Homo-oligomer: A and B are copies of this chain.
Amino acid sequence: MDALPVLGLDADDTLWENGIGFAAVTSRYCDLVSPWVDEPVAKAALIETERAHVKDHGYGVKGFILSIIETVITLSEGKVTGSQIAPVLDWGRELIEAPIDLLPGVTETISTLAADHRLLLITKGDPIEQHRKVNGSGLADWLWGVEVVAEKNPETYTDVLRRHGVEPTGFVMVGNSLPSDVLPVLAIGGRAVHIPHAITWALETVEDEELEHHEFTVLDSFTELPALLAAWRDQG
């Protein structure tokens, strides 16, 4: 019998809510800096700080909280007090410790997919935070592997697939991010399914022209995935 095909799955905002927690904290941050700047200025300043530091900080709560603290200090021209910053540290702990909120139908769909696929979770971010989420999701037993990478680009996908003995041409990746889950997988000859999420972080957007000449499938919901893959299989 042939080995089951490998299906790559993104995690944050594909299997469970993630951006919604960051958005809630961003809203509290806007309240905190409201004595000094309006919300649009506050949001733009935070995104600029995050963009400047993502290479050093990576993706995850610790870097997000450090970016908030830095931006609050800058926007307040240093006038913010320690008492005002203290809650920001609590927000970080809340994000890290929040229970996993699976998207609708994910558990049933994962169990269906696991019957005829090897499921490889590929997520970027802080390994401690991501493994904690996997363990808290109740999905770990269905997964063939979990890979936490620093960036999702063609090089990291190539490396992950090689280490798992998977040919890119037979690989399908599923996720909510065009620049992280779709484009780099197409670039190495794989296939990709895009399942957009209502919340898209500014650093995960692409220009329309980057999507030209690329073929991938868009689904409304993770629950539609088994039917799509079955249709692909029937087409050979």
Chain A residues with a Cβ under 8 A of chain B = 56-58, 62-63, 65-66, 69-70, 72-73, 76, 78-83, 85-86, 89, 92-93, 96-97, 126-128, 131, 148, 150
Contacts and interface: CB of A to CB of B under 8 A. Distances in A.
A70 B93 CA distance: 12
Contact of A82 (B66, B73, B89, B150): B73
Given A58-B128, A66-B66, A126-B58, A82 B83 contact: no
Majority DSSP secondary structure for residues of A touching B: helix
Given A56-B128, A81-B81, 9 more contacts: A57-B62, A58-B128, A62-B66, A66-B89, A78-B81, A78-B83, A79-B81, A81-B82, A82-B85
Copies in the complex: 2
A93 B56 contact: yes
Contact of A70 (B83, B89, B96, B131): B89
**Residue among A62, A73, A97, A127 with the highest chain B CB neighbour number at 10 A:** A62
B73 A85 contact: yes
Contacts of A81: 78-82
Nearest to A148: B127
Contacts of A70: 86, 89
